[in-house]
Amino acid sequence: MKDDNLASWLAKYFDEYLIRQRRVSPHTLHSYRDCWKLLLRYCCDQTRKKVEHLSVKDVGTDLVNGFLASLSGQRSNQAATRNVRLAAIKSFFRWLAMIEPAYLGHSAQVLNIPKMMGPRKEITYLERDELDALLAAVETETEQGVRNYALLALLYNTGARVQEVLNLRVCDVEVQRPYTVKLLGKGSRERICVLWPETVEWIQKVAESRKLNSNSQEWLFVNRQGNQLTRYGVRYILLEACQEAVKVCPSLEKKLLHPHVIRHTAAMHMLQSGLDIVTIQSILGHSALDTTTRYAKADLAMKRAALEKCRPLTREPEEPKWKKDPGIMAFLKSL
């Protein structure tokens, strides 16, 4: 084999395959990059080689399994994070097996490493009164408050992922009927979501406060410095509103709030309103229907309603035969 150098193969994988051929999103690229940075450090520690001297064959099943174990043991990563790292490693070896058949056997061994099974967390979502309290807690007398309310309203209206909304530019929102927004989801899949007139009004207020027209290429949601709002910024906005809302809706104190909760809430409310699973899948941008059906399994209100429709067990237990026989009863009393 002419070149067994791991560094050269990795450079081709990232540059030629991920960036040029697949055109993966920056989020995916950074996730894969971070995984390999961790793995290369681990390889160097285990093999006592410098990173530029590592070979493809150095990264075998034993080393990969050891790396995955270190993620759980030393970094306290859960099963989900461990599986994300494993997926990044497998992606490289799957590509390598197609490009260079000489690595087919070695790659197959790594590709056979199983995912770690872990408990699936219950979906956290807000009931209608909790959502109303959260939105009512947002102060809308300031420019920042108008932005915060428009952000939360848009997240709930569309059920979009937080980053999908943060990546919106003003021109992505159609403020003339029919009101819509163009979202770019995972895998660069584009979808159109319908907006309520009330949501559009708040978005227009955001644009007007910054003196932007509907064709502007500026970010729709920005921070105080005028830069694109981040996920951490959204988390801060959500928690700040929750601190006020919990005063009138104490049940919010028990909820572990994070930006994705609004997406879960939108999905659950759509399901409770009678919308079919396939339509919800389309709105949320799920590539697999199994992801959407999680909401049906988690909806306690629907489970309760279904149980109430069932006929309750009202039949009294049948009296034992010995109690029906007065002779037996008389005999027992005589003892």
Residues serving a catalytic function are 161, 186, 260, 263, 286, 295
To 5 degrees, how large is the angle CA 4–CA 9–CA 15?
A: 165
| Final residue in a domain of this structure, among 111, 139, 172 | 111
Residue 271 lies in a domain: yes
Tokens of 123: 């979906």
Residue 299 lies in a domain: yes
Considering the domain architecture, whether residues 16 and 150 belong to the same structural domain is answered as no
Closest CA to 207 of 260, 254, 154: 154
Mean pLDDT in the chain? 87
Residue 119 lies in a domain: no
Taking the C-alpha atoms of residue 34 and residue 55, their distance in angstroms, rounded to an integer, is 19
Considering the domain architecture, whether residues 207 and 243 belong to the same structural domain is answered as yes
**Residue 328 pLDDT:** 62
CATH number at residue 208: 1.10.443.10
Considering the domain architecture, whether residues 139 and 252 belong to the same structural domain is answered as yes
Task: Please tell me which residue, 323 or 122, carries the higher pLDDT value.
Answer: 122
CATH number at residue 98: 1.10.150
Considering the domain architecture, whether residues 39 and 160 belong to the same structural domain is answered as no
| Final residue in a domain of this structure, among 111, 138, 168 | 111
Structural domains in the chain (count): 2
Q: Is the pLDDT of residue 314 over 90?
A: no
Considering the domain architecture, whether residues 157 and 218 belong to the same structural domain is answered as yes
The mean pLDDT of 46-63, rounded to a whole number, is 94
Residue 320 lies in a domain: no
Q: Tens of pLDDT along 99-143?
A: 999 999 999 999 999 998 877 677 888 999 999 999 999 999 999
Residue 321 lies in a domain: no
Residue 239 lies in a domain: yes
Q: Is the pLDDT of residue 83 over 80?
A: yes
Residue 318 lies in a domain: no
**Domain, as residue range, for 61:** 6-111
**Residue 259 pLDDT:** 87
| Final residue in a domain of this structure, among 111, 138, 164 | 111
Whether 267 contacts 280, CB under 8 Å: yes
Considering the domain architecture, whether residues 75 and 164 belong to the same structural domain is answered as no
Chain position carrying tokens 């584009």: 190
Considering the domain architecture, whether residues 148 and 259 belong to the same structural domain is answered as yes
**Residue 308 pLDDT:** 61
Q: Tens of pLDDT along 143-182?
A: 999 999 999 999 999 999 999 999 999 999 999 999 999 9
**Residue 293 pLDDT:** 76
**Residue 275 pLDDT:** 82
Whether 166 contacts 263, CB under 8 Å: no
The mean pLDDT of 179-203, rounded to a whole number, is 91
Considering the domain architecture, whether residues 91 and 132 belong to the same structural domain is answered as no
Considering the domain architecture, whether residues 166 and 282 belong to the same structural domain is answered as yes
Q: Is the pLDDT of residue 318 over 80?
A: no
Share of the chain above pLDDT 70, in %: 87
Considering the domain architecture, whether residues 150 and 294 belong to the same structural domain is answered as yes
Considering the domain architecture, whether residues 141 and 284 belong to the same structural domain is answered as yes
Considering the domain architecture, whether residues 182 and 94 belong to the same structural domain is answered as no
Residue 199 lies in a domain: yes
Which residues face 148 on adjacent strands?
A: none
Q: Tens of pLDDT along 214-255?
A: 899 999 999 999 999 999 999 999 999 999 999 999 999 888
